[in-house]
Amino acid sequence: MAAFDFPNSPSNGDTYTANGVTFQWNGSVWVRYSASMGAQGSTGPTGAQGAVGSTGAQGATGSTGPTGAQGAAGPTGAQGAAGAQGATGAAGSNASISSNADNRIVTGGSGTNLVGEANLTFDGDDLLIKSSTDGRRISFASDGTSHYMKYDNTLGGIILNGYGGIAFETNGTNQRLRIDSSGNLKVPAGAFDLRVGDDTDSNAGTQTISVGSVSSGSGGIGIFANPTNGNSFVQFGDGTSSADQYRGYMNYQHASDSLIFGTAGSERLRITSTGNLKMPDNLKIELGGAQTGAGDFYLNFDGTYATMHSGGNQMNIRSNRIQIGDNGGVLYIDCTDNSTVKLYHQSGGVATEKLATAAFGIDIPDTLRLSNGYADTGSQMCLGADSSGNCTIAGYNLQIATGNNSSRVNRFLFSHSAFYPAVDNTYDLGTSTYRWKDLFVGDAHFSNKGSSNDVDGTWGDWTLQEGENDIFMINNRTGKKFAITMREVS
């Protein structure tokens, strides 16, 4: 019900009607005027007609064209004598306002009673609903059951209800956020970011989510699911249906505690609950080469063979066999069911046994030659094994040579304190396709004295040494020392 707004400075007998109720001013207060009011008093005799005032002089007529100034009004005739006041009728019942006080909004009550609402006030700035009743609300619906804002005691806060949804607008009527009738929280398309923490642009484009603060410690996004059968997903889609919704994804599978990575809509990598790294068959781990091309080195498993491939060479491993390719033939090792291991060389489709194990030792079909036999005197090379299965290669000075029996050339030498090449700056330790897996040394010394490098044509003499936190290089020619700059990756 609208509030009553009585006129200011009323005259005796004036009436005011609002909300279907009529009031009359009795000279002191407004009283309700209704059908229950007393009978109308008899009409008094009509007063004598006052004399007619003289007619005012006619103002001069303005010239044609622009309208002239309005002529002065003639004097008003004298007021006729007022007729005698009729008898006042009996007074009707008065309306009353109960519980009235400053700023209370007045509403209709029963009968002629009006009520000043103690829990509904307006002071010109604030409209307050002070009731403690659960569910007190402001509604925009005719029955008050929807489209409302209400206070909820259980929540201890405000509930907004919009039957078809709730939208938030800024800067005029620009919609920024919507909750639709299904409960979906939507941010419209445009250059809008969702920022939790710092008001910082993520710099990842438009329509992004930024979480955390650079000044308040840690930040993050938590994604939770049922620990028995739930899945937590982060998906990268480029369409709205089927696999287009998850062209790339990360999936934590809670039942198995596995973290799964996918591309092109399919699983590519899995980290199990025990930390094992797994890939589906026929996928490769590639190292080296361009990021968008084939790797220089790769590992893969095709369901039968595990393959390690580098350039034109590869090694395949399957049950009971290790197979090594050499671009001209195949060398493979077989382990049979009776635990015999055989080494074969295959060339032109023909496999030739080169070595086999047996109960008595190693059977070498070809020839193993040792000069001067096994003796404890003089210059010798000894190959043997003791009763404990310890094999020994011994010699006063051990030489490793290549060539046939009549024209061997020493390549490497063992003295009592060193292993070294037979000729200075001539032989390599490994090749580009036959490499040592790991090299374990104390300090390392490098010198190309007697030759030059391929960059600036000079030669150098360097020593590499390890420190607790750094790797050092010492220039033996100048005595200068350097620390190698390294970047921690794990």
pLDDT digits (tens, 9 = 90+) for 292-350: 667 677 777 777 777 777 766 667 676 666 666 654 456 666 666 556 777 777 676 67
> Does position 393 have pLDDT exceeding 70, yes or no?
no
Give residue 366's pLDDT band: very low, low, confident or very high (50, 70, 90): very low
Residue 38 in tokens: 């007393």
**Residue in 48, 17, 32 with CA at minimum distance from that of residue 113:** 32
Q: How far apart are CA 315 and CA 305, in angstroms?
A: 9
Lowest mean pLDDT among 40-49, 214-223, 284-293: 40-49
Rg of the chain (C-alpha set): 53
> Does position 92 have pLDDT exceeding 50, yes or no?
yes
Specify the pLDDT at position 93. Answer: 58
- 364-370: average pLDDT: 46
pLDDT in tens, 472-486: 999 999 999 999 988
> Does position 59 have pLDDT exceeding 80, yes or no?
no
> Does position 63 have pLDDT exceeding 80, yes or no?
no
Specify the pLDDT at position 35. Answer: 45
